[in-house]
Amino acid sequence: MDTRRILITGLSTFWGGRLARALEEDDAIETIIGVDVDDPTVELDRTEYVRVSNQHTLIRRIVAAAEIDTVIDTRLAVDSTVAPPRLAHENNVIGTMNILAACSGPESPVRKIVMKSSAHYYGCERDDPAFFTEEMERPHPPKTPIERDIVEAESAVRDFADKHPAVTVCVLRFANTLGPGLRTSHTRLFALPAVPCILGFDPRYQFIHEDDIVGCLEHAARHDLAGVFNAAADGVLALSEVADLLGKPLAPVLPPWGTGLVAKPLRRAGMRFPSELLNQLRYGRGLDNRKLKATGYEYRYTTREAVQQLAKQLRLAPILRDAREPYRYEQEVEEFLRYSPSVRRGER
Amino acid sequence: MAEQRRATVHEAAKEAREAAEVERLPEATRRESLEVEDLREHLPGIEPDRQVTDWGRSERVEKALDRTLVDFLYHYWFRVSVEGVDGVPDDHGALLVSNHSGALPPDATMIAKAIKEEHPRPRPLHITVEHFFKGYPGFAMLLPKIGAVPAHPANVHRLLYDESQLVLVFPEGRKGSEKLYKDRYRLRRFGRGGFVAAAMRAQVPIVPVCVVGAEEAQPIFAHLRLLQKLTGLIYVPVTPTFPLLGPAGMLGYLPAKFAIRFLDPIPTDQWGPEPWEDSGLVQTVAEQVRDLIQRNLLDMLSKRSSVWLG
């Protein structure tokens, strides 16, 4: 199937914006429309932004009017420090339901759906395999709100795929993300003078660089990948190795027993351990990324390289502080640039 | 070393691919095996600067321990004598199956060291341990560094099939290492035969291994149930030195003479396609392997004149 008319939900998330910018380069793609509740955070050229909540009737009208053939859902919140649980649930579960509802029905023009999910789907437990493959289920039901949301959202997507065999449904389960443009609970912990850990544990960690996230989403948009794919960089590092690469000592600030109790007051000291991260700090997680590689995607960074990139950026951070002017979305300017007859295409 | 190891993995995988006799398989299996074989090409590449493997195995820690404690135990304390180590495959995967004993079992380390010392082509050995250790502070940090892997079927399969490595399993599990001195050298139940199914799936041979000496090196006289509950450990044994000498007493091994016998590999591709689906066959083979080890243990014991001198 040719992908020509794309709708990106969650345009204002870091990934949505970066993906739109990457797709803009390709002239074969006629239309890119982004929807979100917040303004875009990156400068976009020809992507059209529509401010809309996750209401399926509104999105459905956009989908039908623009004859969207591919929907890329980058909206999922996978870090409980960025959104309170209630809001995250609203976005992750109800939002996914609404977007799927907007794409369903016999007269829907949508032929492909790509969903950005997370490896939190698998959780982190004692009796996990060292490398999760896509068909493996998590051994225990999810305990943290974010994990519950992701499992629920994915099951909604699976139902949709079962009911719509003509639509190519691709779910990408991303490992924890690192990158210069990104702030996650991991980058925040790694920015501390020492890398906090649980006493007596050295979990295995796998990351994915932000460029590879955009790359994977783009790869999924351009090819017809049906099913679930793990997306994680090559190489699983021990946390001690990560600390080594960052040039920082490991600080066992969390006790092996009563970890949750100690994590709470530490938040005041600037160490925020979201609940889904505590189990990861204990047991770690590895993904088998070969299924996606077999479809032809080549990762630009290994886990080690992603950590090295972060190390570089962390060294520069105190120097470059506030040096870059953040992009601000101004509706009038964007509309002028896109639709005014005075704007000459070649000179923008 | 890691580089060499990975390179070996790739070579072995390549050879296996070339040698794969796909023709004799029925259509459905052939397609499936081709699909899986494709994935082996996509294993992560070599990163020469890394000291730790994707499994968390640390060359540095392993080497440091190997040169000191393990070397001393192997050569001077247990004076390990080895027979039949040449039967362990040179390059492709194999599943080593052994009897298990000693409160803090020294047998796994000694088998790994025997392959390192005596085998014409020394290879690292991956030792499967209970999931419990991944959840217990301290063990969780140390064990993966010296080559222990949680005994998950998927882990064993990846190591054996995809990475063509050597894996050591103790089908008796903790039932073997927690048994009392009076039950020495009497094999416990061999799990549910999971190890046989794993070897069949991965199409690798099973190498039975018999270890004599570990039972006497750290005999268990009783178990402290209360202390076990308090510490959350799988068992807290009474040994000649523990708890008498405190926690360090767990390392108090008596200088029993060790003998390790590697038996001839048992091929697992002799039963047609998908033999692991036949649970009767799996159980039978598991029982046969158990008998073989038990018989050889008794044979070795009958020839041993002294526990300490061999």
Domain boundaries, chain B: 1-49, 59-303
In the numeric block, which tokens belong to residue B8? 């070996």
Whether the predicted pLDDT of A2 surpasses 90: no
If you average pLDDT over every residue of chain B, what do you get?
A: 87
Long-range contacts of A334-338 (CB under 8 A, 24+ apart): A334/A44, A334/A49, A338/A46, A338/A48
B192: amino acid identity, one letter: R
- Evaluate whether A256 touches A201 at the Cβ level (below 8 Å): yes
Q: How far is B305 from chain A (nearest CA, A)?
A: 43
For residue A329, what pLDDT band results from cuts at 50, 70 and 90? confident
Whether the predicted pLDDT of B17 surpasses 80: no
For residue B47, what pLDDT band results from cuts at 50, 70 and 90? confident
Question: Of the ranges A229-243, A313-327, B131-145, B195-209, which one carries the lowest mean pLDDT score?
Answer: A313-327
pLDDT of residue B102: 84
Whether the predicted pLDDT of B302 surpasses 50: yes
- Prediction ipTM score: 0.89
For residue A1, what pLDDT band results from cuts at 50, 70 and 90? low
C-alpha span between B272 and B282 (Å, rounded): 13
Q: How far is B259 from chain A (nearest CA, A)?
A: 33
- CB–CB contact B144 A238 (8 Å): yes
Contact residues, chain A, for B56 at CB < 8 Å: 202, 204, 236, 238
Whether the predicted pLDDT of B5 surpasses 60: no
What 3-state DSSP class applies to B16? helix
Which helix (H) or strand (E) segment holds residue B278: the answer is none
pTM score: 0.88
Tens-digit pLDDT profile for residues B96-109 = 999 998 888 899 99
For residue A80, what pLDDT band results from cuts at 50, 70 and 90? confident
Question: Of the ranges A65-69, A272-276, B11-15, which one carries the lowest mean pLDDT score?
Answer: B11-15
Q: Taking residues B145-165, report their average pLDDT.
A: 95
Whether the predicted pLDDT of B2 surpasses 70: no
pLDDT of residue B24: 40
Which helix (H) or strand (E) segment holds residue B212: the answer is strand B206-212
Whether the predicted pLDDT of B28 surpasses 80: no
Tens-digit pLDDT profile for residues A57-72 = 899 999 999 999 999 9
The most distant pair of C-alpha atoms in chain A lies apart, rounded to whole Å, by: 67
Q: Taking residues A213-236, report their average pLDDT.
A: 94
How many residues in total does chain A contain? 348
Contact residues, chain B, for A291 at CB < 8 Å: 39
What are the residue boundaries of the structural domains of chain A, listed by start?
5-347
In the numeric block, which tokens belong to residue B222? 């009783």
Question: Facing residues of A293 across strands?
Answer: none
B122 touches chain A (CB under 8 A): no
Nearest residue in chain B measured CA to CA from A290: B42
If you average pLDDT over every residue of chain A, what do you get?
A: 90
Question: What percentage of chain A has pLDDT greater than the value 70?
Answer: 97
In the numeric block, which tokens belong to residue B142? 């140390």
What 3-state DSSP class applies to B82? strand
Whether the predicted pLDDT of B13 surpasses 80: no
For residue A346, what pLDDT band results from cuts at 50, 70 and 90? low
Q: How far is A264 from chain B (nearest CA, A)?
A: 21
B120 touches chain A (CB under 8 A): no
Token match 């959780």: residue?
A123
Question: What percentage of chain A has pLDDT greater than the value 90?
Answer: 65
Cα A31 → chain centroid = 22
C-alpha span between B220 and B181 (Å, rounded): 5
Whether the predicted pLDDT of B1 surpasses 60: no
SS (H, E, C) chain A: CCCCEEEEECCCCHHHHHHHHHHHCCCCCCEEEEEECCCCCCCCCCCEEEECCCCHHHHHHHHHHCCCCEEEECCCCCCCCCCCHHHHHHHHHHHHHHHHHHHCCCCCCCCEEEEEEEHHHCCCCCCCCCCECCCCCCCCCCCCHHHHHHHHHHHHHHHHHHHCCCCEEEEEEECEEECCCCCCHHHHHHCCCCEEEECCCCCEECEEEHHHHHHHHHHHHHCCCCEEEEECCCCCEEHHHHHHHHCCCEEEEECCCCHHHHHHHHHHHCCCCCHHHHHHHHHCCCECCHHHHHCCCCCCCCHHHHHHHHHHHHHHHHHHCCCCCCCCCCHHHHHHHHHCCCCCHHHC
- Evaluate whether B82 touches B72 at the Cβ level (below 8 Å): no
How many Cβ atoms from other residues are within 10 Å of residue A174's Cβ? 25
C-alpha span between A258 and A63 (Å, rounded): 49
For residue B20, what pLDDT band results from cuts at 50, 70 and 90? very low
Look at A43 and B155; give whichever has higher pLDDT.
B155
- CB–CB contact A130 B155 (8 Å): yes
pLDDT of residue A335: 83
What is the sign, positive or negative, of the torsion defined by CA atoms of B35, B36, B39, B41?
A: negative
B44 touches chain A (CB under 8 A): yes
pLDDT of residue B11: 53
Sort residue B261 into left (φ over 0), alpha (ψ -120 to 50) or beta: beta
Fold for the domain defined by A5-347:
Rossmann fold (3.40.50)
What 3-state DSSP class applies to B197? helix
Which helix (H) or strand (E) segment holds residue B207: the answer is strand B206-212
Look at A219 and B27; give whichever has higher pLDDT.
A219
- CB–CB contact A241 B45 (8 Å): no
In the numeric block, which tokens belong to residue B214? 């570990």
Whether the predicted pLDDT of B37 surpasses 70: no
Nearest residue in chain A measured CA to CA from B42: A290
Nearest CB among A130, A136, A291 relative to B55 is that of A130
Residues of A with CB under 8 A from a CB of B: 126-131, 133, 136, 198-202, 204, 234-238, 241, 256, 282-283, 286, 288-291, 293-294, 302, 304
B55 touches chain A (CB under 8 A): yes
User: Is domain B59-303 classified as CATH 3.40.1130?
Assistant: yes
Bridging pattern class, strands B81-83 and B259-262: parallel
pLDDT of residue B39: 85
Give Cα separations from B33 to A133, A230, B12, B201, B229 (angstroms).
17, 21, 17, 11, 47
pLDDT of residue A348: 47
Highest mean pLDDT among A310-319, B26-35, B214-223: B214-223
B56: amino acid identity, one letter: G
Which helix (H) or strand (E) segment holds residue B302: the answer is helix B279-303
| DSSP string across B105-132 | --HHHHHHHHHHHHSSS---EEEEE-GG
Token match 């295995």: residue?
A204
